[in-house]
A and B are shown apart, each in its own frame.
Chain A
Amino acid sequence: MPPEAMPVEATPLEATSAVLPAESRPGVSKPNPILTARGLVRSFGAFKAVDIQNLEIQQGVITALIGPNGAGKTTFFNLATGFDDTSEGSCWFQDQRITGLHNYQIARLGAVRTFQNTRALTRLTVMENMLFASQQQFGERLHRVYGAKWRRKEQKEKERARELLDRFALTHMADEFAGTLSGGQRKLLEMARALMAEPTMVLLDEPLAGVNPALGETILEHILALKAGGTTVLFIEHDMSAVRKVSDWVICLAEGRVIAEGTHGEVGQNQLVLDAYLGSTRGGMSDDE
């Protein structure tokens, strides 16, 4: 499916039935929050990389997290998914306090993140990358390894993995080592693999970074498809045009704080946001980390 043939035109608000918040101010409460942060601080010495009073991520919609380089976006992801230690405050996922839980426990609750730098498990095949991500592997428990049952159960998982690989145009690579994939294919595999875990929410750290425009469009389509399938998406992105195409809601972070929230139209015209981008030391609205 050549991405150029299917330009993403959907205005997200038409595609979603979710009711967005009436107000657009930082920290505004939302109808159906899935992820909540209160007084969340991560300090490195005297420097606060994240300092969020109040933030709610709404269930069932696509939220973009924008902000200049070093704004604390990745650090916020790390705090929310247990990959970094919170200095103050807490996060809740579906009404459960997750601050203090291990990262793998948070993932098991249904919040699965990806990383800014693509991470393929290179010496596993593409299919193994997929199967390993599943949470339903009967034979993943040591005491069941020598039973016969897991082989039967694994067939179902393989079926699911094949469907996903098909969706991400990776079927022909299923039996190759993931290390042989191109950079773009690795990005796709990473998304497909996250979906294999059947998350209720995915947190994608710069899914569009370093991919060519055609693949970028494809990835945006996949993000829209995720929402259609009922998965909540929070993704980090700089490029406002990409954000505009898919996001229902935009949150802008600068120097660790939420400085603006709203639809992409509102945030795109917010003077604080424009200043933050212009004032950021590295300038511009792009990021090459």
Chain B
Amino acid sequence: MDWIGITVAALRASVGPVAVAYALAGLGLNLQFGYAGLWNYGHVVAVAAGAYGAAIPLEAGATLMVGVLCGVAAALVVSLFLGVAALRLRLDYLAIATIAFGEIFRQVVRSNWAEPVTGGVFGIQQFARDFFDLNPISEGRYGWGDFSFDHRSLWLMIVGWTLIVIGVLAMYMLVHSPWGRTVRAIREDEQVARSLGKNVFFVRLQSFMIGSVFGAFAGVLLAFANNVNPDFYSLILTFWVYTALLIGGIGRVLGPVVGAVVFWFLFQWFDGFMQSSIAEGWYGNLLQTTDAGPFRFMLLGLILVLLVVLRPQGFFGDKDEALLDAS
């Protein structure tokens, strides 16, 4: 078995464009769930709104700037709509409302009658030319041995990691401000917050919409990296972002970034390991190469369960805080 090859491939995935998108989406979800305590199970809607919001005008010939702004605006509009409708509910209903909305959103964009705009089940391709035209890196592969990226991936990573740095700084200032303190206080006890004059609905709506902006940037980046395909934006994406967040530590500014890197390392490592071990016949006739895919998900699921049970604060979190009685 090529242990080094598997590990290098996993390392490559852990810093690649998709991991970057997960980190950005996770930053937003961390604000919503980790700091504001909002059970958003439809974060994928913000990501998809960002992707479609940018891809549709870009395909129609809009400039790159307009496309990106449209992606962000789409996420803002969708989250405003969902927030106004659902944030008045009790928070357990919010969870259900966001799940439902996530699925409705996907069904709408992939429907036949939306096809002229969204491309239906085929999605949208070939709209990112302006983005890659800005790429200062000349064609080729860069890196060391197997740990290498082509010029397109590298350009996505440069832009993506720059966004992460800006996003982390912005998030740090946000959650360490008096506004962020009020957000966390509302998470702890909304009635106390109300009794002290805080407009709970409004502050929640703000955090929900800001979280969606981060999701939108993740969506735009994913769209540039992989085109736009409606079935990519299924509910499970939200849960993988949650898994990454749990790994990195909820309610910590760097948690989602660390989590996304570790998540994609593990994901790719399990994939490589299962592929190789099946190919080498470790399991006899029990498993075929086609089983590698489902198995890596099972292993990730197992990690999620172990984390929740053994380290609710994440790999890197502070156990005391996570275990404080929330009542």
List chain A positions with a Cβ less than 8 A from chain B. Answer: 81, 83, 102-105, 107-108, 112-115, 119, 121-124, 128-129, 131-133, 135, 137-142, 145-146, 150, 154, 177, 179-180, 193-194, 197
Contacts and interface: CB of A to CB of B under 8 A. Distances in A.
B306 to A, nearest CB: 23
B198 interface: yes
A81 B195 contact: yes
Contacts of B182: 132, 137, 140
Nearest to A123: B324
A135 B178 CA distance: 11
Interface string B194-217: 111111100000100000000000
Contacts of A139: 177-179
A180 B326 CA distance: 11
B181 interface: yes
Given A112-B195, A123-B184, A123-B326, A140 B321 contact: no
A124 B173 contact: no
Contact of B194 (A103, A140, A180): A103
A62 to B, nearest CB: 20
**What are the 5 tightest A-B residue pairs by CB atom distance, in nearest-first order?**
A179-B324, A139-B178, A121-B188, A107-B197, A137-B178
Contacts of A142: 179, 206
B290 interface: no
Contacts, number: 102
Contact of B192 (A105, A121, A146): A121
Contacts of A104: 193-194, 196-200
Given A139-B177, A141-B179, A124 B195 contact: no
A128 B177 CA distance: 11
Contacts of A114: 195
Interface of B: 170, 173-174, 177-182, 184-185, 188-189, 191-200, 206, 320-321, 324-327
B195 A113 contact: yes
B interface SS class:
helix
26 contacts: A102-B199, A104-B193, A104-B196, A104-B197, A105-B197, A107-B197, A114-B195, A119-B191, A121-B189, A122-B325, A122-B326, A124-B181, A129-B185, A131-B178, A132-B182, A138-B178, A139-B177, A139-B178, A140-B178, A140-B182, A145-B173, A145-B178, A146-B170, A150-B177, A180-B324, A197-B196
B181 A131 contact: yes
B27 to A, nearest CB: 16
Given A104-B197, A123-B321, A132-B185, A145 B177 contact: yes
B222 to A, nearest CB: 27
A137 B326 CA distance: 25
Nearest to A114: B195
B195 A107 contact: yes
B196 A83 contact: no
A142 B170 CA distance: 12
Given A122-B325, A177-B324, A140 B196 contact: no
A104 B202 CA distance: 11
Given A121-B192, A122-B326, 10 more contacts: A81-B195, A107-B195, A107-B197, A113-B195, A122-B327, A131-B181, A132-B178, A132-B193, A137-B178, A193-B196
A179 B325 contact: yes
B224 to A, nearest CB: 28
A122 B324 contact: yes
A162 B194 CA distance: 23
Contacts of B325: 122, 179
Interface centre among B177, B180, B185, B193 (most CB of A within 10 A): B177
Nearest to B180: A145
